[in-house]
Amino acid sequence: MKNIDEIRADFPILGRRVYDKPLVYLDNGATTQKPRVVIDALADVYLSYNANIHRGVHHLSDIASEAYENSRETVRSFINAEKREEVVFTSGTTGSINGLAFSIGERFVNKGDEIILSHLEHHANIVPWQMMCERKGAIIKVIPVDDNGDIIFEEYLRLLSSRTKLVSITQVSNAIGTVLPVNEIIAAAHTLNIPVMIDGAQGIQHGVVDVREMDCDFYVFSGHKVYGPNGIGCLYGKEKWLSELPPFQGGGDMVDQVTFEKTTYNELPFKFEAGTTDYPAAIGLATALGYVTSIGRNYIEQREKELLSYATERLLSIKGLKIYGNSARKISTISFLLEGIHQYDTGMILDKMGIAVRTGTHCAQPVMKRYGIDGTVRASLCFYNTNQEIDTLAAGIEKVIKMFA
Ligand code: PLP
């Protein structure tokens, strides 16, 4: 088991300075930093075996294709999907949801049908469904949230009906940290045979994800939020759904036979992987998942719980600081405001102290509106953060308050 210094040493960027102060990186919800093994894996592709996958008969293409398909197997095992065919590489969560919204819309949605979302969704899990609903004449229904930031389950049950074509829900709110009761949400939808998509963009990096145990029909996530490279992500789908859905992009590799009259499609998962995918990033993602496994997902979950509880207590001791999102089930993300001080001012002053936090609406305007605010400061912590960094944040916030006093 590595100690925290050894873990931090795995992430070269954490050792850098910003404005001549040690970097305190608390913006992990936006993107995580990369361990050296991931950077090395990417470099290794380009340095020693770069070639387009699934195309050539030559040696390098064979190695790259094998590494890419092994990466798919790593993802399958990480999320415990039943089959490799159920794991589609995409450009990320946004790419996955846009693709799925198109395919589901084309195949299953008609005028007057409904899609259920929650009030906690990231724009990436709102706008693609809206675009599809506009095309198809369908309607979005929204599960409300209470003052703590929990969805109101009875309202959800009321929304489910024979008109519901899909429930698309985040596993964890990126804006306020709530962990949603996805197992219960899925079970309730399944009593009416309604499929459920889980947006795992903020879920996969914080603990064990088991799509079979969850029984979700689709699960999507981004590599860059789980210590992997940018530009890669996944769309997991149960085979029975993926085989029924039409592809969302056409091009090379996703086809079987092409004539000018008609095209037949490749088998799963290639039907959904048109064109040259970012195979180096897929290989980097698999390396990141391997790294996470080596640290231990149970360890990560436990350590982040400790960080959340330390940070919550520390920040709540600051007079004039209000936390938004007080669910009993939260990941290590704290959204807050300082009385009378705009979030941008807070964020910009903290930045000058080397502390990186996110400010604004966090691409979740509806939930900000729900609480009558136009944004927050968000500190999103992960297992490589330390209590000392939380102390630095708290001291920085005290300084901000003094400056505005
Ligand atoms: N869904 C949630 C809950 C997110 O937090 C994010 C990004 O912050 C996304 C979707 C979109 O992810 P990406 O920008 O990697 O596609």
Q: How far is the CA of 149 from the centre of ligand 1 (A)?
A: 18
Comparing C-alpha atoms, which of 250, 238, 216, 282 is closest to residue 66? Answer: 282
Place of tokens 């340095």: 47
Residue 55 has pLDDT above 80, yes or no: no
Number of H helices, E strands in the chain: 14, 17
pTM value > 0.85? yes
368 phi/psi in degrees, rounded to 5: -65, -45
400 closest CA partner among 340, 359, 324, 328: 340
Q: For residue 338, what are the β-bridge partners? A: 321, 341
Stretch 45-64: mean pLDDT: 93
| Confidence check: pLDDT of 321 > 90 | yes
Q: DSSP of 323-353, one letter per residue? A: EE---SSB-SEEEEEETTB-HHHHHHHHHHT
Q: Spell out the domain ranges in the chain.
A: 4-27+296-404, 39-294
Distance, in Å, from the CA atom of 297 to the CA atom of 371, rounded to the nearest integer, reads: 33
Q: What is the mean pLDDT of residues 140-147?
A: 98
Out of 31, 91, 93, give the residue to mutate to test ligand 1, the one with the largest number of ligand atoms within 8 Å of its CB: 93
Tokens encoding 51: 């070639």
* 263 CA from centroid of ligand 1 (Å): 33
382 is catalytic: no
Mutate to test the pocket of ligand 1, among 118, 120, 168, 174 (most ligand atoms within 8 A of CB): 174
Residue nearest to atom 6 of ligand 1 (CA): 201
- The binding-site residues of ligand 1, defined as CB within 6 angstroms of any ligand atom, are 92-94, 122, 124-125, 170, 174, 199, 201-202, 222, 363
Measure the CA angle with vertex 132, ends 237 and 156; round to 5°: 70
Atom of ligand 1 nearest to the CA of 362: 8
- Kind of pairing between the strands at 333-338 and 321-324: antiparallel
Lowest mean pLDDT among 75-84, 251-260, 287-296: 251-260
Predicted pLDDT at 14? 98
- Best of 97, 180, 222 for a ligand 1 pocket test (most atoms within 8 Å of beta carbon): 222
The single residue of 133, 216, 234, 363 carrying the catalytic annotation is 363
Give the pLDDT band (50/70/90) at residue 134: very high
* Residue 34 scores a pLDDT above 80: yes
What would the mean pLDDT of 153-162 be, rounded to a whole number? 98
Residue tagged 């609903």 (tokens): 133
Instruction: For 72-104, give the DSSP string.
Output: HHHHHHHHT-S-GGGEEEESSHHHHHHHHHHHH
pLDDT of residue 57: 86
Helix residue spans in 160-278 (DSSP H): 182-190, 211-214, 239-242
What's the mean pLDDT in 177-193?
98
Residue 56 is predicted with a pLDDT of 76
Q: What separation in Å is there between the alpha carbon of 318 and the centre of ligand 1?
A: 30
pLDDT of residue 308: 98
Among protein residues, the one whose CA lies closest to atom 4 of ligand 1: 201
Q: Closest Cα to residue 163, out of 110, 215, 127?
A: 110
Report the C-alpha gap between 22 and 275 in whole angstroms: 42
Cross-strand pairs, 330: 178
Q: Are 201 and 170 in contact (CB under 8 A)?
A: yes
**Angle subtended at Cα 288 by Cα 276 and Cα 301, rounded to the nearest 5 degrees:** 135
b (16+ CB within 10 A) / e for 145-170: beeebbbeeebbeebbeeebbbbbbb
Report, as an integer, the average pLDDT of 28-34: 98
Q: How far, in Å, is the centroid of ligand 1 from the Cα of 93? A: 6
Alpha helices in 80-218 (DSSP H): 93-108, 127-136, 153-159, 182-190, 211-214
Q: Which residues lie closer than 8 Å to 339 by C-beta, 6 or more apart?
A: 320, 321, 322
Q: What's the chain's average pLDDT?
A: 97
Ligand 1 atom at minimal distance to the Cα of residue 30: 8
Class of domain 4-27+296-404 (CATH, top level):
alpha beta
The percent of residues in the chain predicted with pLDDT above 90, rounded, is: 98
Q: What fold does the segment set 39-294 form as a domain?
A: Aspartate Aminotransferase; domain 2 (3.40.640)
Ligand 1, atom nearest to 170 Cα: 3
Is the pLDDT at 266 greater than 90, yes or no?
A: yes
CA of 257 to the centre of ligand 1 (A): 35
* Rounded CA separation 54/61 (Å): 7
